[in-house]
A and B are shown apart, each in its own frame.
Chain A
Amino acid sequence: MAKKRTVALVGNPNCGKTTVFNALTGSRQHVGNWPGKTVEKKEGNFDYMGYEIEVVDLPGTYSLTAYSLEELIARDYIVDEKPDIVVDIIDSTNLERNLYLATQLIELGTAVILAFNMTDLADKEGLRIDIKKISNFLKVPIIRITASKGIGLDKLKDAIVDTITNKNKISPKDKTPTINYGTEVEEHLNEFTEVIDKNITLPKKYNSRWIALKLLENDEEVISLIKTIKNSEIALSEAKKIRKHLKNIFGEDIETIIADARYGFIHGIVKEAVEKPIDRVSLSDQIDRVVTNRILGIPIFLGMMFLMFHMTFEVAAPLSDYVDGFIGFIGGQLVGLLESGNAPEWLISLIVDGVIAGVGSVLVFVPFIFMLFFIIAILEDSGYMARAAFVMDRVMHKIGLHGKSFIPMIIGFGCNVPAIMATRVLESKKDRILTILINPFMSCGARLPVYILFVAAFFPERGSMIVYSLYILGIIVAIIMGFILKKIFFKGLSSPFVMELPPYRLPTLRGTITHVWERGWLFIKKAGTVIFTTMIIIWLLAALPPGVEYGSEKSGVGMIGKAIAPVFSPLGFGDWKSSVSLFFGFVAKEVVVGSFGVLYAIEDVESPVGEETLIGELQNTFTPLSAYAFLVFVLLYAPCMVAIAVIKREIGWKWAAFTAIYTTAVAWVAAFIVYQGGMLLGFG
């Protein structure tokens, strides 16, 4: 039996952690260039010299002081779960900031190995790093690696095993502290450490100097940890006293003093051990001169967005048609097969109207989604997304969101499903939830067929104006709801915009493809299963009770339609057929058109004759005012169930249910205002 050990990989965002993780464990992982993207905890393992090493890839973090949710994950894992070894991946081209985290890890007292990554880039920049010197200063092993080329990884594995085998020799307590905070602070720190040792029994995994330091730093996590232990009041009041005392002496809070000392210590080391050529303007800086230029910045951003859309919808649309055709073909074949096999009618209906229609509605999205993810992956991995956030933050800040919320909003005009997934680029969970909650108001492509049909029936003269007004209405409602939801759920939690602009990098094909595949596959798998079940439920409702005509007045949906129709009466469309079509529209909004077809028993709504008959029927049912109210409702009410399924996956079923309900409520109110207001103004 191999002996098991756990190794945690930590590091600043973008230091190449995921690349190291992949190289060590060989598992397929996402590689990105967006600061703070690795959100989930990823695990893998490898065998080496008789040990089975479990590797945990933690979210990127700049410090052990938890700030965002992802950083909290990393911090909690390192501090509370205590992996046997922490490997801190250091971006060698950005030593000072990267070593800041390293000093905190060393102070924590865990076994740390530093892996100096990106050495190829450091060499190219002409940096000469004396690893040995740094290692002596910090008293931890340092290994040089180039993760993207797989260089130095065996040495890293050796270092891991070495650390395991003589781990017990260096106990954190008999090490002299690495960083000295100066006589005044040190004196108080030592005294305080003694107070803690004397009065409090700490769990074994924590060392008292570290606890003392963290209490002086007023670290919330450590304070709440200490509060669970007996006699904590003594330590907490002592900490308060010392903080006050030091503040009086230095005229500054102790957090500042400590951070100054850490960075000062690192600065000293880097000065001693690193030879730097004179700063010259890097390629990345040159690109930024153009891309975030005062005059060109916005046009370039808009151009990028346009290109993204254009590529997605122009390139993927034919593919989508192809998929659609293919599904139709399979469906036809299957029906033929079933009919020749004398399958019962209900089974054929279940398969054709339920399974194939349902799964098909997912599959036609797939080309769009893969294309969009491909482009987003390139934008992210290259570093452009951070610039887009930089350029757009001003606008987004005005409406209570974050610069990075912009991208998902734009994508929403194409399809809300990838848009919701794209909120992953947001670091703060609250920003993410808020961005997801208002995303469905961005009028997606699936709503367009409904607009087109109604415009043809009621507003042939002012068609584009009507459609345009709906898009604008969606944006306005999103902004208003953003304001309101922020006030209700996320009051005062505006996260400051302190964002690294990582250097531009050429995305690797492998990285991009893994990225696209992982996101795309998740979509197919998770959304697919939900849609499959929902379609079957809806089919059952439309086909039951037995013997009823599919989707007719007497079927389950017909009865539901009749039951809910009164709700829509005040909005001007209280007949059961429009209720049923809205009900079906929850599957996918373009289905609204198809269900009118079914309900009015029109064979092919897409044929000219069929469309004309349908338009005639609609004109009998709606007035122009109620038609517009209906469109407003279609725009705003619950997003399709694929979107709901994705919201559930991203932020949980509670928010998913909330989204479905509140958007529908908003839609009702808006349509009510349109219809009743229009009546009052005499448009009825």
Chain B
Amino acid sequence: MSNEITLNKLKPKQEGVIVRVGGSGALHRRLLDMGLVKGSPIKVERIAPLGDPIDIKIKGYHLSLRKEDAAKIIVEV
């Protein structure tokens, strides 16, 4: 069953596919530019030791995002 949740809810090593990238202004654009676009597979690699930010794998590279920003990205798992 497919299920839509926000990216910050993904557990380490869990994978998903991006459904929508929210956020506004510079953040929204930046996320798009970095390859977080609809249909891209995305994987949470790990969470930083203090619980934030997270390390995700997208388009074959690693990107770190704060959870508050990751909460604006909806993925299908």
Contact = CB atoms under 8 A, between A and B. Distances in A.
A298 B66 contact: no
B60 A96 contact: yes
Contacts of A296: 49
Interface in B20-52: 20-21, 26-35, 37-40, 45-52
Interface stretch (A44-52, A252-260, A656-664): A252-260
A498 B62 contact: no
Interface string A76-104: 00000000000000000111110010000
* Chain B, interface residues (CB within 8 Å), range: 35 or more
Interface stretch (A144-152, A328-336, A391-399): A391-399
A90 to B, nearest CB: 13
A263 interface: yes
B33 A63 contact: yes
Given A391-B49, A394-B53, A499 B64 contact: yes
Given A67-B26, A96-B35, A260-B37, A292 B49 contact: yes
A294 to B, nearest CB: 5
A260 B39 CA distance: 9
Contact of A263 (B35, B52, B63, B66): B35
B59 interface: yes
Interface string A385-417: 010001101110100000100000000000000
A62 B34 contact: yes
B33 A390 contact: no
Contacts of A294: 46-47, 49
B66 to A, nearest CB: 5
A341 interface: no
A256 B32 contact: yes
- Most A CB within 10 A of own CB, among B37, B40, B65: B37
A65 B32 CA distance: 11
B19 to A, nearest CB: 11
Contacts of B61: 94, 97, 500-501, 503
If over half of B's interface residues share one DSSP class (helix, strand or loop), that class is named, otherwise mixed; here it is mixed
A259 B32 contact: yes
A497 B35 contact: no
Interface string A54-67: 00000000110101
A295 interface: yes
Contacts of B40: 263
A391 B48 CA distance: 6
A394 B52 contact: yes
B76 interface: no
Given A94-B60, A263-B37, A498 B48 contact: no
Contacts of A639: none
A297 interface: yes
A263 to B, nearest CB: 5
A616 interface: no
A96 B59 contact: yes
Given A63-B33, A97-B35, A498-B27, A393 B63 contact: no
A40 B53 CA distance: 29
Contacts of A501: 55, 61-64
Contacts of B39: 260, 264
A496 interface: yes
Contacts of B33: 62-63, 65, 67, 100, 259
Nearest to B55: A501
A404 to B, nearest CB: 11
Interface in A294-318: 294-298
A297 B53 CA distance: 13
- Minimum-distance CB pairs A-B, first 10: A297-B49, A259-B32, A394-B50, A63-B33, A501-B62, A96-B59, A263-B37, A394-B52, A496-B27, A260-B37
Given A497-B64, A501-B55, 8 more contacts: A67-B26, A94-B61, A263-B37, A288-B46, A293-B49, A403-B53, A496-B66, A500-B34
